[in-house]
A and B are shown apart, each in its own frame.
Chain A
Amino acid sequence: MVAAPTIRPAARRQPRPAAARIKRTKSWSLTALTTLMLVYTLLPLAWLVISASKTQDGLLSTFGLWFGGDFALADNVGKVFTYQDGIYLRWLGNTVFYVVIGAGGATLLAALAGYGLAKFAFRGRKAVFALILGAVAVPPTALAVPTFLLFAKMGITDTVWAVIIPSLMIPFSLYLMWVFATDAVPDEILESARVDGAGEFRIFFSLAVPLLSPGLVTALLFNVVVTWNNLFLPLIMLKDRNLYPITMGIYTWNQQSQTVGGDVVFNLVITGSLLAIIPLIAAFLLLQRYWQSGLAVGSVKQ
């Protein structure tokens, strides 16, 4: 997926017969390998789709990788939205809220900070750079408990802020924006804008943002995925079921099967998971063309 767009424009520029010859000599092993990877990647997804069509009983009594028994997809979807007073929809709404505010905010902050660091020379810039690289290396999981203790002192655990504030800081996307801004926004444009008397904020929003947009979309996609899939942080922070994101909700449904007297609902866990990834897939399909052109930037000398 990542390699495709950077190869294609280059290949097109080559004389066609030559390209065809090169392709043919390499194709068998490469095709086999990519096919294998494709199957490997799609198999879990296929399992998810197939399993979502089964009842709780069918799930346990039929072969996992093919349809069996009743086709209960519609029934499962209905149950997912009505089980436990329809709390699934609330969880989905929570996740969307966390993603819009958290991932959206993180992208904005990353763009501002990345642009600032790339385009303004100031004392201690190297130190900031080192700090951010270090922050990229620290797994969020390791920070969860200290963050919890900090938030507990502030009295904001078990509120939406406990999830949103940490997800506003994604050092990797700041790093990404910084690197991107360095190349994508030529200093000459900024200088001429300043000469024309534009303020820094105007320059950023009117000039830099359009130039940064491919990188912004990349960072946004990355942040959306991270925030959408976030489980550990809410697991530590949230007690109130009504604040759970979808990941936590499905996790608790799954945990019911391991609880004395708990209701076993594997079929709802699976169907709920399938429904939960659809918005992510949609986001990728809608945003991928921006993302692709973003990746190619800097690969060709102007």
Chain B
Amino acid sequence: MRITRRRALLGAAMSITLLATGCGSADDTSGDAPAKTSVSDADIETALQTGGNLTVWAWEPTLKKVVADFQVKYPKVKVNLVSVGSGNDQYTALQNAVKAGTGVPDVAQIEYYALPQFALSKAVTDLNAFGATSLDGTFTPGPWGSVHSGDKIFGLPMDSGPMALFYNKEVFDKYAIQVPTTWAEYAAAAEKLHKANPKAYLTSDSGDAGFTTSMIWQAGGRPYRVDGTNVGINFDDEGTKKWTSLWQGLIDKKLLAPIPGWSDAWYKGLGDGTIASLVIGAWMPPNLESGVKAAAGKWRVAPMPQWAAGEKVTAENGGSSLAVTEASQNKNLAYGFMKYATVGDGAQSRTDQGSFPATTAQLTADAFKNKEFPYLGGQKANEVLSAAATQVASGWSYLPFQVYSNSVYNDSVGKAYTGGSTLHDGLKAWQDASTKYGQEQGFTIR
């Protein structure tokens, strides 16, 4: 898979092929200026009423109901919802299909970190042509910023992951640990817990690119500067150093459980108290409910720890968008579906099914904020989480080849977690690997 990912990126040859096949209504996406609105809402409504077939590649489970509802509302539209795998599996499939020039879906789910890569390789369409700018203010700033690339808009946010501190209250109470509000308190809590119970850890981390970039994002680091094909990568800024010095301290004192996220050991640790907290995206509650049944009623949510007492800054962790592919033969219909799923009735339906919304309307609704989570001991967790959504620091961008970069994260930074290197050196090595790759792909790296 890695081979494909490496090869299937942009490169002049591929862009030319895509332009030559020239299947697109938004013709001026090839230039630098964003596409002018050429499709009106009426056109989209017409497309929805006229009907047709749509293929949607997405793994997000709540979309099933959205598709069913959508087809009831627009009976002439037939939506073929296919899960071709989650995350990387789907990106590989999408890149292969784009490369082959056949079998490309109309709409694809793409995580925020991966979207710039598909945008720059012109696999997905600039939604300015459909008047997507009119959706300004519909979404929270974090995800809305994440679907932008310059003035262009390449996707509609489907969900979001403002970060918060999820913690096991039973463990915290047992060892008299205060819920940390700053990272200094967090480090102290990590030490206190592990001292009280050598089997227990405040959290686990064995090297996770998404987590690292989110943490640097919150700390104010902006390692990636992206302007079209001009890319800056620098892990030497102050924000990054803030995070590395904190996290290096935890690694050195062996205060992080060496358990990879999402493994069975991780779920086990979350259930039996050996991993006592997680700093993670707001989409986490359904995953706890499904995967960590043993700890029902024990977990709570608190705001993400801050770098200085009294601050209120968070970052996004995960989350994905829906995008219209450049190869789609029915872009108006595709956009109509996407709008339904992300801002129309679908937004509420998905929120009701437990997805964490990216739309301000859903986030600020009283019913949403007042929802009690039995799993979280009846806590109105969304009060914390929707506040976090408004506190996402701005100005973050991912690399236009972040999928590749993340795939080699463990080769470089991973060593820091086993004591073979330091986070600082690891990040430097990661930077070099990303730079080298970017140059090979024809980017200008500063």
Contact = CB atoms under 8 A, between A and B. Distances in A.
A240 B82 contact: yes
Interface string A94-130: 0000000000000000000000000000000000000
Contact of A261 (B60, B89, B267): B60
A149 B287 CA distance: 36
A60 B271 CA distance: 8
Q: Could you tell me the dominant secondary structure of chain B's interface residues?
A: mixed
Quick one: which of B84, B92, B264, B290 has the most chain A CB within 10 A? B264
B268 A60 contact: yes
B62 A261 contact: yes
B362 to A, nearest CB: 15
B272 A260 contact: no
B409 interface: no
A69 B93 CA distance: 41
B83 A252 contact: yes
A266 interface: yes
A263 interface: yes
B287 A260 contact: yes
Interface in A66-114: none
A256 B290 CA distance: 11
Contacts of B355: 260-261
Contacts, number: 104
A90 to B, nearest CB: 16
Interface residues on A, range: 20 to 34
A153 interface: yes
Nearest to B8: A145
A239 B3 contact: no
Interface in B27-84: 57, 59-62, 82-84
A193 interface: no
A157 B294 CA distance: 43
A27 interface: no
A241 interface: yes
A59 B264 contact: yes
A56 interface: yes
Interface in B170-190: none
Given A149-B100, A152-B101, A259 B86 contact: yes
Contacts of A262: 59, 61, 86, 287, 290
B93 A60 contact: no
A210 interface: no
B228 interface: no
Interface string B4-15: 100100000000
B212 interface: no
Contact of A152 (B60, B87, B89, B102): B102
A34 interface: no
Interface of B: 1, 3-4, 7, 57, 59-62, 82-87, 89, 92-93, 96-97, 99-103, 159, 161, 262, 264, 267-268, 271-272, 281, 283, 286-287, 290-291, 293-294, 318, 320, 353-355
26 contacts: A57-B271, A57-B293, A60-B272, A60-B294, A61-B268, A145-B3, A145-B4, A152-B96, A152-B101, A153-B102, A235-B1, A235-B89, A236-B4, A239-B82, A240-B82, A241-B83, A252-B85, A255-B86, A256-B86, A259-B60, A259-B86, A260-B281, A261-B61, A263-B61, A264-B287, A264-B291
Interface of A: 56-57, 59-61, 142, 145, 148-149, 152-153, 155, 157-158, 235-236, 239-241, 252, 255-264, 266
